[in-house]
Amino acid sequence: MTNKRIVLSSDHAAIELRQAIAKHIETKGWEAVDIGPTTTESTHYPLHGKAAAEKVVSGDCRFGIIVCGTGQGIMMAANKVAGIRCGACADTFSAKMIRAHNDANMIALGARVLGEGLALEIVDGFLETDFEGGRHATRVDMVEG
Ligand code: RB5
């Protein structure tokens, strides 16, 4: 895979976890494209989910990692962008499976749900798992319509 860029964004509820993930993925050989925000001033997760999603569908970044309080709202916003397949994960098995079976190109995490250690394990599971293709490709095509 040539594109090693991963876009990260969050809302105000998840700045610290997002920054920890950015640092962590750099140690694994990825380039973190952290598009903020940088302050804890209250903001709106749909803006940040959409901004990250656009960097993935444009091809600028291979994957996106987005974080809000629960991971749910920002995931919903990202999935409104055509071509995005984003799952909100609170366990490592699901993070691997959304790559293996659903060819997810983004993952959403909840900073008020997960401790940092588990969040980083979930991110590793997502990034270290390849899409299996085959019958799963047929289904992903159906999702894409
Ligand atoms: C912000 O308070 C919170 O609603 C947001 O981070 C997220 O959890 C929404 O899904």
Q: Which atom of ligand 1 is nearest to the CA of 68?
A: 6
Q: Is the CB of 43 under 6 A from ligand 1?
A: no
When pLDDT is cut at 50, 70 and 90, the band that residue 1 belongs to is low
Considering Cα of 119, then 128, then 88, then 39, what sign does the dihedral take? positive
Q: Encode pLDDT of 103-114 as tens digits.
A: 999 999 999 999
Domain harbouring 82, CATH code:
3.40.1400.10
Q: Residue 115: what pLDDT? A: 98
- pLDDT at residue 2 in the model: 87
Q: What residues contact residue 76 under an 8 Å CB cut-off, 6+ apart? A: 49
Q: Domains in the chain: how many in total?
A: 1
Q: Measured from the CB, is residue 111 less than 6 Å from ligand 1? A: no
* 25-66 residue pLDDT tens: 999 999 999 999 999 999 999 999 999 999 999 999 999 999
What is the domain extent for residue 42? 5-144
Contact 106, 9 (CB under 8 A): no
For the purposes of burial, counting CB atoms within 10 Å of the CB of 128, is it exposed (0-12), middle (13-18) or buried (19 or more)?
exposed
Paired with 109 in beta bridges are 67
CB 19 within 8 A of CB 115: no
Atom of ligand 1 at shortest distance to CA of 13?
A: 6
Residue nearest to atom 3 of ligand 1 (CA): 69
Assess whether the C-beta atom of 11 lies below 6 angstroms from ligand 1: yes
Catalytic residue numbers, as ranges = 68, 101
Buried b / exposed e along 23-42 (16+ C-beta atoms within 10 A): ebbeeeebebbbbebeeeee
With a 6 Å cutoff on the Cβ, whether 10 touches ligand 1 is no
Query: In a mutational test of the pocket of ligand 1, which residue from 16, 70, 112 has the highest number of ligand atoms less than 8 Å from its CB?
Result: 70
